[in-house]
Structure 1
Amino acid sequence: MTRFLLSTLVIGALSVAAAADANAWTRSATANGPRGTSSVTATGGCANGSCSRNVTRTGPAGNTYTRSGTISR
């Protein structure tokens, strides 16, 4: 169930991001499940041939997971 909620949050964030400006964006979503509320917040942007993103996920128990990434051409 947790994987389903997390997948749903990520897919929703990516769907909205596809319609946004490529230079800078922020997305967030929440989902309610039988164990509580989970949330995800993602930010990113591109400049000078380099793009980066930061994603923070918080589970219903309050555990937080953060992931960052950068790619350059």
Structure 2
Amino acid sequence: MKKLFLSTLVIGALSVAAAVDANAWTRSATASGPRGTSSVTATGGCANGSCSRNVTRTGPAGNTYTRTGTVSR
């Protein structure tokens, strides 16, 4: 009986951890043009009623622009 309870507890904890990770996301892309290559990377996620994101763009000249945002209920 103890093993069954312990197994159920461990499976439940892993399920909750997987659900938290399911709210995180990452996107990235590159584009090449006549002036060179540009890239963008975006990450974000939600937890405890708050969602945030972070976007970083790098232009063909190497200039980097970062934008962050957070929304809460």
* TM-score, normalised by the number of residues in structure 1: 0.70
For 1:54, the equivalent position in structure 2 comes to 54
CA distance in 2, matches of 1:24, 1:62: 28
CA distance in 1, matches of 2:22, 2:56: 20
CA distance in 1, matches of 2:56, 2:22: 20
For 1:27, the equivalent position in structure 2 comes to 27
| Higher share of residues assigned helix | 2
Q: Which runs of 5+ in 1 are unaligned?
A: 1-20
Of all paired residues, the percent bearing the same amino acid is 94
The structure whose Rg is larger is 2
Equivalent residue of 2:51, what SS? strand
CA deviation after TM superposition for structure 1 residue 55, in Å: 0.2
Q: 1:1-73 alignment to 2 at 5 Å?
A: 23-73=23-73
CA distance in 1, matches of 2:22, 2:38: 26
The RMSD of aligned alpha carbons is 1.3
* TM-score, normalised by the number of residues in structure 2: 0.70
Equivalent residue of 2:60, what SS? coil
Moved over 3 A (4+): none
